[in-house]
Structure 1
Amino acid sequence: MSIIISIGSGKGGTGKSTVASNLACLLARSGRRVCLADLDLGGADIHIQFGLFEPPRTLTDFVNRSVDDLSEVVVTLDAIHGLQLLVGTGDTLQSANMNFQQKQRLLRALTGLDCDILLIDTGAGANYHVLDFFMAADIQICIACPETTAIMDFYRFLQLATIRKALSGFLSGSEVSNVLRDRSFQTLAEVFALAEALQPGAKQAAQQAMEFFNPLLITNRVGPNARLNQMKLRTLVSRYLGVFLPDLGEVPEDPAITQAQRSYLPVCEYAPQAASAQALKTIARRLGKVVDLYLAKRTPSLQEKTA
């Protein structure tokens, strides 16, 4: 069973897809079987970063049932350490706006892919598709930039993701679930208060759903005059969302990234000694340790279930 890692951000332009493609490449280089899935519905383009301009199949073929097995859509990039690429969709209105049943079918199929790590690029924004893809993972990574507007969008994304996670603590179809599903919330406190008013003890269920939600933070496009006050951000997220935000590292603003994109290669392949490539290498190594820790914790649980 693969470890699923999702990468999300509050807005476009944070370099999320660039970070995702480089981390996928570096994890594959370390000997892991990695599949990078582009789930940016309506704007999938991560395959371009690998020079794959005319993929033989895309997620559209799976969504439209032209193929039944998701593995038939996967492209193996032999030149990039055997990295598997699940090319995204969006070239039809239907695939860019898949319904609930199509999304559930896709999520089930993703868990069946034959790889060690499935890395999901969720797309930007905070619509239901993005949030559901982001929250479906075992490990979540958030990309933030030092710009003020990017920080505000990042916080909003994390706020909505947290609320979505809390709502998952209620069984679908239950009274609490049905009422909460049709409401709009600004804070977690509102979710907890209404849930408890509807059903005593429901607040605890929502809090338990949040217990292991600790998204990892990567700060991208850091420069001498553009740095993120991580302590302030962590304090804000902890106080108002009840979420701990561990730091994976920073990626500096680097012209080598633009040059690599023009050459249709991840910067870690195009210029491995560049500052950004070295930073991403460090982040990938830390992420690998997080994956190993997750596997170590999951293995005893699996053994208990099969005993």
Structure 2
Amino acid sequence: MSIIISIGSGKGGTGKSTIAANLACVLARSGRRVCLADLDLGGADIHIQFGLFEPPRTLTDFITRRCDSLNEVLQTLDTVHGLQLLVGTGDTLQTANMNYQQKQRLLRGLQTIDCDILILDTGAGANYHVLDFFMAADIQVCITCPEATAILDFYRFLQLATIRKALSSFLSGSEVGTALREHSFETLDQVFTLAEETQPGARLKAREALEFFNPLLIINRVGNNARLNQMKLRTLVAKYLGVNLPDLGEIPEDQSVGRALRSFLPVCEYAPDSPSAQAIAKIGTRLGKVVDLYETKRRAAADNPAESG
């Protein structure tokens, strides 16, 4: 069973897809079987970064049932360490706005992809599709930039993700689940309050759902005059969302990234000695260690189901 890593940002323009593509390359270069899935519905373009302009099949073929399995849609990039690519969709209104049944079929299909690591580029924004793809992973990675607007959008994205996670801890047909789904929430505390009012003890259950939600943070486009006070951000997130935000690394502003994009190559392949490529390589190494740790814990849980329960 593959380990799924989702990558989200909360807004466009943070370099999320570029980082996803490069991390996929770094992890594939380490010898792992990696698949990169473009789930940016309505704006999928990550295949362009690999010079794949006319893919023979895309996610549209799966959503519209021209293909029964996602494995039929995968493209293997032999020149990029055998990386597998699931080209996204967005060429029709139907595929850009899939319904609930289509989304559930897609989520089930992602579980069948034969690889060691499946990376989900979840798209920008914070709609239900993005949040559900982001939270469906074993490991979540968040991207932001030092700019104030990016930080605000990132915090809002994380806030909505925690709300979505808390809501998912209750069955839709339960008393608490029904009550929660009849309301819209702007803060996580509102979820906790209504849950507790509906059923004593529900607040604790909602908090427990977030116990192991610790998204990893990457800061992109860091420069001498553009840095983020990570300690302040972590304190804010911990205080108001109850979520730890481990640091995965920073990527400096680097003109090599733009040149790589214009050459239709990930910067880790185009200019491996550039500052951005070296930073991404270090982040990839750290992420690989997180994957190894997760795999160890998963195997231990499988060997000792009573203890894990």
With the shorter chain as reference, the TM-score category is over 0.9
Q: Secondary structure at the match of 2:11?
A: coil
CA distance in 1, matches of 2:280, 2:126: 25
2:284 paired with 1:284: yes
Query: Take 2:187 and 2:30, find their aligned partners in 1: how far apart are those partners?
Result: 40
Mapping 1:124-273, distance limit 5 Å: 124-273=124-273
Matching residue of 1:298? 298
Q: CA deviation at 1:147?
A: 0.3
- Comparing 165-174 with 21-30, greater Cα deviation is found at 165-174
CA distance in 1: counterparts of 2:181 and 2:231, whole angstroms: 33
TM-score of the two chains, using structure 1 as the length reference: 0.99
Q: Counterparts of 1:148 and 1:230 in 2: how far apart (Å)?
A: 13
Q: Which residue of 2 aligns with 1:75?
A: 75
Partner residue, 1:96: 96
Matches of 2:293 and 2:56, distance apart in 1:
36
One-letter identity of the residue aligned with 1:295:
E
Deviation of 1:304 after TM superposition, in Å, equals 3.0
Amino acid at match of 1:46: I
**Amino acid in structure 2 at the alignment position of 1:195:** A
SS at match of 1:124: coil
- 1:40 maps onto 2:1 in alignment: no
Matches within 5 A, 1:10-21: 10-21=10-21
After superposition, give the CA deviation of every residue in 1:207-241 in whole Å (9 maximum; x if it has no partner): 11111000000000101100011011000000000
Tell me by how many angstroms 1:305 deviates.
4.3
Deviation per residue, 1:178-234 (Å, 9 max, x gap): 221131112111111100110111112111111100000000010110001101100
TM superposition shift of 1:172? 2.3
1:48-98 CA-partner distances (Å, limit 9, x unpaired):
000000001000000000010110000000000000000000101110000
SS in 2 for 1:123: coil
Compute the displacement of 1:306 (Å).
10
TM-score, normalised on structure 2? Answer: 0.98
Q: How many residues align?
A: 307
- SS of corresponding position for 2:265: coil
- The one-letter amino acid paired with 1:188 is L
The separation in 2 between residues aligned to 1:12 and 1:89, in whole angstroms, is 17
Q: Quick one: distance in 1 between partners of 2:234 and 2:201? A: 29
Structure 1 segments unaligned to the other structure (5+ residues): none
Q: Please state how far the C-alpha of 1:303 moved relative to its aligned partner.
A: 2.0
CA distance in 2 between partners of 1:172 and 1:228 (Å): 39
SS in 2 for 1:173: coil
Letter in 2 for 1:81: H
DSSP-derived class of the 2:122 partner: strand
CA RMSD of aligned residues (A): 1.1
